[in-house]
Amino acid sequence: MHKYVIMGVQGCGKGTQAKLLAQDLDLVHISVGDIFRWNIQQHTKLAARIKRIVSDGRLVPDDIVADIVHNRLDEHDWNYGFILDGFPRNRTQAEFFLERFDIDAVIDIQVPDHVVLERVMSRRLCSGCGLDYNLIHHRPAVADRCDVCGGSLVARPDDTEAALRARLADFHTVTRPVLDLFSRKELVVRVDGTLPVAEVQAEIRRELGLPQYQPS
């Protein structure tokens, strides 16, 4: 069983890398961001509160994040392990998490802020099927139209420069110290997130001693 945490500032590619690991190792990919977006799409009771917070560029409060993650992990559907994306975000969450789970490694994907800004401002989402695009690396065949369903491509509501700068500031002041805590326990592996996707995945696997990545 493998239990990993993947960390890095928004736009570093951690979701993409987590999915690649999950597919090959039969891990459950638990993404806090995906859970939030699902709530918003389904108009749950939690959705309105999350939407206001995220659109302002603020992090969702610790108690909400912790409850969502703990409830998800308590489902125990991760027979071969999990890769947790978007949690823990602060020292309190990290300490509580380490008390409950014996994790194998924390993957820190490192990308400079200016690269993150460029990537995030180029992201688009299909309004029909929800497929992700990026106007730098994953352009649609027809401008502003989804290749799969033909739906219009839109920017995420929280992908504004002001909101992103606020999230970057939160990451460096609140979340970055979490990595220092994990580092003292010798759990952290660091990879260069500015490399192409396949090279980042290959580097992660080398650092973790996993089978070599074979792009499809």
Long-range contact pairs involving 187-191 (C-beta distance under 8 Å, separation at least 24) = 187/103, 187/104, 187/105, 187/106, 188/105, 188/106, 188/107, 188/108, 189/105, 189/106, 189/107, 189/108, 190/108, 190/110, 191/107, 191/108, 191/109, 191/110
Active-site position among 37, 124, 167, 205:
167
Query: Any catalytic annotation for residue 184?
Result: no
State how far the Cα of 35 lies from the Cα of 117, in Å rounded to an integer: 23
Nearest to 157 by CA among 61, 15, 57, 87: 57
165: left (phi over 0), alpha (psi -120 to 50) or beta: alpha
Query: Any catalytic annotation for residue 139?
Result: no
Q: Can you read off the two tokens belonging to residue 46?
A: 């939690």
Active-site position among 37, 123, 124, 205:
123
Beta bridge partners of residue 2, listed in sequence order? 81
Query: Any catalytic annotation for residue 14?
Result: yes
Active-site position among 14, 119, 124, 205:
14
State how far the Cα of 116 lies from the Cα of 193, in Å rounded to an integer: 10
Query: Any catalytic annotation for residue 190?
Result: no
State how far the Cα of 55 lies from the Cα of 175, in Å rounded to an integer: 19
Query: Any catalytic annotation for residue 167?
Result: yes
Active-site position among 37, 72, 89, 119:
89
Active-site position among 3, 58, 139, 156:
156
Nearest to 111 by CA among 199, 170, 203, 193: 193
Name the strand (E) or helix (H) holding 205. helix 197-208
Cite the active site residues: 14, 89, 123, 156, 167
